Every structure is written in structure tokens, then in C-alpha cells.
Amino acid sequence: MKNGLAYQVAVIGAGPYGLAVAAHLRAKGIETRVFGDSMGFWATQMPEGMLVRSIWEACHIADPDRSLTLDAYMESEGIELKEPLRLKEFIDYGQWFQKRTAPDLDRRRIVRIEQAPLGFKLTLSDEEIVFVERVVVATGIAQFAWTPPEFRDLPSTLVSHSSAHQNFRRFAGQRVIVLGGGQMAIESAALLKENGAEVEVIVRRPSVHWLDQSVPWLRSASNPLRRVLYPPTDVGPPGLNWIVATPDLFRRLPQSLQEKIARRSIRPAATGWLIPRMKEVPIAVSCGIDSAVRVGDQVKLRLSNQTDRLCDHLLLGTGYRVDVSRYQFLAPELLAALSIVNGYPVLTAGLESSVPGLHFVGAPAARSFGPVCRFVSGTAFSAPALAKRVVATRSKKWNPNRPAKLNVAGEPEPASSTET
């Protein structure tokens, strides 16, 4: 175990949020270290062939002078991209952004965050210890994949969450039931079909909600009013979308109204461009799964409409449920000190939690700042807000000219020993 030199801020996570935060902090001269795999979640937990659901304007990862937008990326690389972006195109863009904002990315994982006298003590996957003054948790939703309890006892060969697959090739020739009516469930069903599986979708609601079908032209790039009707954040229906696009306003609304707006803005829905690809996939609506039992190499499902299905695999498009207590790297004492409501940390200005110096960005910030925090476009609000807070509270503890050498308890070593 080695003693590390302190960084001012450690950003844990190198997805869109961690990278945007790092870009903003570094632009303000804050010494920042970023940990994690560059665009790791997108590269490993989304299926090959997936298209990015967000519109073009909502896919820029925020940087302080807007020099790292998708348009800048195209120009720099001499390539042409168009909406909807392919998964691989978005990952490449994110990694291009990372090389420009965090070229010194530390790919090691953080296995523990604990409070220390001057801030926080981080334990890295190779057991190195690093002391930092502030921590930004930007580790995304991977840990929050939601498997309903009734399926947890079945083996992963028979039941899996959609996030467990990088492609669906292994399902060719198999009968697969997909549970869910949101984008991931419906797009997985389309991809399974295209990979040669026999697919059926089970949806609890009376219908699949297809986005932008009433007047598709309204959202098209050729509509001159598109920018008025739809803010670049692209979250929520017209009217509510501007409230969602203004997280500082959302935060001031009564809790009950916040919840209504959030529910309406992220209700399960699928993009209209999936409709033609779903033509040959049966969808059973107003239907849940009452039970699932293993029958040899297959799984037998009893549906709520009292019919049965026998399939080779049940794919759960059941989404994600934020619960920061599932972030195993948060030490129990730190977790106990956090103010948490329904799994979400309570955050104040600068996305700072009830533990001073500990920030959360991305989906865990959604209860405090609204549903835009679940999407890439929320980086445009979160990253500058966080950087502003860090600058405003810049601590005297941090001396960039002479970083503190800390002992194993996170306390500064006597000056004589640090200045040798």
C-alpha cells in the first residue's frame, strides 16, 4: 500500500458526465483526476446495432467553450454523421472527447471511498490509496439494473437484463420473450428479430407509446420551429420540456409537481423509427408475467391474461432504479452520513450532497435536479454548476504549488518531511 499525493478533485467515472465535469473543472484550473473506463458503460452494456435515441442537439457532451461538440468532432475527424447516431459513433465521439479533456485518464476502478480529515480517502482496484479534497461520483446506472424479484432465482442462461448483452447473436433460432415497453425493450426486440430470434414482447400498459407519431414533422430537422418547441435537452413533452431543461427552476417546484413532471417526462416510450422494424414482432399488451418457472432448458411463463408461454430466454427490459446504497464503493459510514430519499442523494447547489465535498452527477442527481440528469444533455447544466461550486468554495487546504503529502490517515505530514 502506497501513500498517494492529493488531487483537488477526483472524478469517478469516465462516461459523459465524468468527462464533462473534468473538462469544466480543468478549464477553471482545478487539479482533477478522472478514474474509470472511457465510455465504459456504452461500450460494454449496450447492444451492437443500437441507435442513440436522443436528437443531435442532445448528444453533445458539454465542454466550457463548446469546442468539443459533435459538430466539432465531425470537422476534426473529417467524417459525416447524422441523426440517429449509431452506438459505435457515439462511443467514438465520447472517447475523442476524453482524449482532449482527460488524456491522463486513470482506468483503475475505485473500490472504496471513505471520509478523511482533509477530504476523502480513495482505495483503487490495485490497493493504492489516494487522498483528495473532493469527490465527484459519476459512475452512472450500471449498478442499478432492475431485475424484478420474481425472476431473481432463475439462472442467467434463462433470464437476463438487457444490459447484460453486447450483442444478440447467441439468440439466433431461439424463442425469446422480452418484458417491457420502453426504448430498450422494444429496440432489443427489434435487434433480436434481426439476429434471427423468434420474439414476442410483453407490455404491462395498454399500448406501446411511440414517440412523435401525432405530428412527426414537428420534431423533424426541417421544422423551423423545432428549436422553439423542443429545447436542445430533448427530455419531456412540449411544454414540460422547457421546465425540465431548466434544472434550477425544476428544483424550486413543489415535490409533488416535480414528481408528476418527472414521471410524465420519462414514461416508457419508444422512438417512431422502431415501428417498421417491429412489424413482424407480436406485442401482448395489458399483460404482466405472474410467474416464471424453469422447465428443463426453457422457462415457462404464466401471463396475467392466464395464458402460458414457453421460451428459451426471458429478456428483461425493466430498466434501472437508482439506489446509491448499491454503490459498493461507498463506505458504510459515508453512506450513513448521506441524506438519501428513495435511493437518491439529496443534493444542493453544485450537486453537492449532505457530505460536504461529495458530489453526485448523472441519474442520482435526478431527484434534486430533474430528469434531464438522466441524459447526456444534462451535462450542460451539471458540469458548469458543479465547477462553479468548487471554485466558490476553493479551499485553503489545497495549495497547487505544493500538493500535500499525506500520511495513511489522510493527514498532512509535517512540513519538514514533505519538503525533502
Ligand X SMILES: Cc1cc2nc3c(=O)[nH]c(=O)nc-3n(C[C@H](O)[C@H](O)[C@H](O)COP(=O)(O)OP(=O)(O)OC[C@H]3O[C@@H](n4cnc5c(N)ncnc54)[C@H](O)[C@@H]3O)c2cc1C
Which residue in the set 8, 9, 11, 13 belongs to the binding site for ligand X (CB under 6 A)? 13
- Minimal distance in Å, beta carbon 19 to ligand X? 7
Mark the segment that binds ligand X (CB under 6 A) among 14-22, 247-255, 286-294, 385-393: 14-22
- Residues 285 to 304: which contact ligand X by CB under 6 A? none
- According to DSSP, residue 308 is labeled E
Long-range contacts of 298-304 (CB under 8 A, 24+ apart): 298/158, 299/154, 299/158, 299/159, 301/177, 301/202, 303/202
Which residue in the set 72, 74, 142, 275 belongs to the binding site for ligand X (CB under 6 A)? 142
Q: Does 168 bind ligand X (CB under 6 A)?
A: no
Residues whose CB falls within 8 Å of the CB of residue 99, separated by 6 or more in sequence, listed in order = none
Q: Does 54 bind ligand X (CB under 6 A)?
A: yes
Task: Tell me how crowded residue 2 is: count the other CB atoms within 10 A of its CB.
Answer: 9
- Residues 55 to 114: which contact ligand X by CB under 6 A? 58, 109-110
Q: Does 164 bind ligand X (CB under 6 A)?
A: no
Q: Does 236 bind ligand X (CB under 6 A)?
A: no
Grid cell listed for 301: 411463463
DSSP strand pairing (340-341 vs 344-345): antiparallel
* Count of residues of this chain found to bind ligand X when the rule CB under 6 A is applied: 31
The span from the CA of 334 to the CA of 207, in Å, is: 43
Residues whose CB falls within 8 Å of the CB of residue 336, separated by 6 or more in sequence, listed in order = none
Site string for ligand X, 196-225 (x = CB under 6 A): ------------------------------
Annotate 206-260 with DSSP letters as a single string: SS--EET-SSGGGGSTT-TTHHHHS-TT--SSTTHHHHHT-HHHHTTS-HHHHHH
Query: Which CB atom, from 122 or from 301, has the smaller least distance to ligand X?
Result: 122
- Minimal distance in Å, beta carbon 290 to ligand X? 27
Site string for ligand X, 121-140 (x = CB under 6 A): -----------------xxx
Which residue in the set 10, 11, 14, 270 belongs to the binding site for ligand X (CB under 6 A)? 14
Query: Which CB atom, from 164 or from 253, has the smaller least distance to ligand X?
Result: 164
Q: Does 384 bind ligand X (CB under 6 A)?
A: no
**Residue that the C-alpha cell 482532449 belongs to:** 100
Grid cell listed for 35: 478514474
The span from the CA of 154 to the CA of 160, in Å, is: 9
Which residue in the set 181, 362, 371, 410 belongs to the binding site for ligand X (CB under 6 A)? 362
Mark the segment that binds ligand X (CB under 6 A) among 37-45, 72-80, 241-249, 404-412: 37-45
- According to DSSP, residue 73 is labeled H
Q: Angle between the 70-77 and 87-101 helix axes, to the nearest 10 degrees?
A: 90
Mark the segment that binds ligand X (CB under 6 A) among 261-269, 284-292, 370-378, 409-417: 370-378
The span from the CA of 221 to the CA of 398, in Å, is: 48
Q: Does 345 bind ligand X (CB under 6 A)?
A: no
Site string for ligand X, 310-329 (x = CB under 6 A): -------------------x
Which residue in the set 376, 386, 390, 406 belongs to the binding site for ligand X (CB under 6 A)? 376
Q: Does 12 bind ligand X (CB under 6 A)?
A: yes
Query: Which CB atom, from 132 or from 299, has the smaller least distance to ligand X?
Result: 132
Question: 358: closest CA among 147, 155, 139?
Answer: 139
Task: State the residues that interact with ligand X by CB under 6 A.
Answer: 12-18, 35-37, 40-42, 46, 52-54, 58, 109-110, 138-142, 184, 329, 362, 375-377
